[in-house]
Amino acid sequence: MAMVLRLLVCIALVPAGLSAQTSRSTSAASYVGRGNEWLKKGEINKAIEDYNTAILFSPQSAFIYYNRAHAHQEAGDVDAAIQDYSKAIQFDPKFAYAYNNRGNLLAKKGDFASAMSDYDQAIKWRKHFSRAYFNRATVRLEKSDTDGAIADYTLAIGSNRRYAMAYNNRGVARQAKGDLDGAILDFSKAIKLAPEHAGAYANRGLVRLLQGKKSEAEQDFARCTSLKPDMRGTIESGIATFNQGSNAAHH
């Protein structure tokens, strides 16, 4: 029951007026700006309508397709979002954020090979892209490539020393490899950076159980459930799995 934090979406909404050099681009920027405001208010359909109109004025704007992709993603229309991220990439082949976000959606659909390719491209065009390293690492972890996951989480941390989620997930990968001391160090660092990180307490508690430190584990579980009561069932499931393994080892 290791708590792995999932893929991150990078959002960079285009401000109204960006590159407004002609009457047509000015009109596009106006609709984009209003679309962004609708999106912030949760009015997704209205946002999409404004992005549609903006595209009529500026049909080769990578940023408008990118914003509309995000709106489709918020609406739960994964295929439409992928199509728009692809359009954004078509008009700007170096658009690292679009590669990252499309990769996330492809990973969600189970197309890990294409997702990995997108993360590679995102990192190619944005060298210190901590989120892309994080996301690539998470896909590697899903595929049980723990060494590759640890390497990418380490690169994510190298680009952002305060990346609590990367420390948490690297701890999960280290635990999977049997490096319990390394896992404890990573979960503790995640907690230091993000004291409200309930999952990191749960993860550290389970590793402490594996180390035979029951009292310290119980303290971590208590802190976890005080932060997030609905995780109690997840913790109980993890403890039950640990007990089953422990009992099997003694027979």
Does a structural domain hold residue 41? yes
Does a structural domain hold residue 85? yes
Structural domain harbouring 63: 13-92
Stretch (H or E) spanning 73: helix 62-74
Cα 211 to chain centroid, rounded: 30
Asked if residues 159 and 148 have their Cβ atoms less than 8 Å apart, the reply is: no
- Give the rounded percent of residues in the chain with a pLDDT score beyond 70: 87
Does a structural domain hold residue 175? no
| Neighbouring C-alpha atoms within 13 Å toward the C-beta of 96 | 13
- Per-residue pLDDT band at 22 (split at 50, 70, 90): very low
Can you spell out the DSSP letters for 76-100?
T-HHHHHHHHHHHHHH-TT-HHHHH
Position 247 scores a pLDDT of 60
Section 24-37 average pLDDT: 88
User: CA distances (Å), 51 to each of 13, 44, 56, 118, 180, in order?
Assistant: 12, 10, 9, 24, 49
Does a structural domain hold residue 72? yes
CATH number at residue 34: 1.25.40.10
Does a structural domain hold residue 75? yes
Q: What is the pTM of this model?
A: 0.88
CA distance 71 to 52: 11
- Per-residue pLDDT band at 243 (split at 50, 70, 90): confident
Does a structural domain hold residue 57? yes
Could you give the number of structural domains in the chain? Answer: 1
Does a structural domain hold residue 53? yes
Spell out the alpha helix ranges (H) of 96-231: 96-108, 112-125, 130-142, 146-159, 164-176, 180-193, 198-210, 214-227
Does a structural domain hold residue 219? no
pLDDT at residue 178 tops 60: yes
Contacts (Cβ under 8 Å, ≥6 apart) of 160: 130, 166
Cα 35 to chain centroid, rounded: 24
Instruction: Read off the pLDDT of residues 37-55 as tens digits, 9 standing for 90 and up.
Output: 999 999 999 999 999 999 9
CA distance 131 to 152: 10
CA distance 170 to 150: 6
- Per-residue pLDDT band at 2 (split at 50, 70, 90): low
Closest CA to 131 of 102, 99, 100: 100
Section 131-159 average pLDDT: 96
178 DSSP 8-state letter = T
Section 123-152 average pLDDT: 96
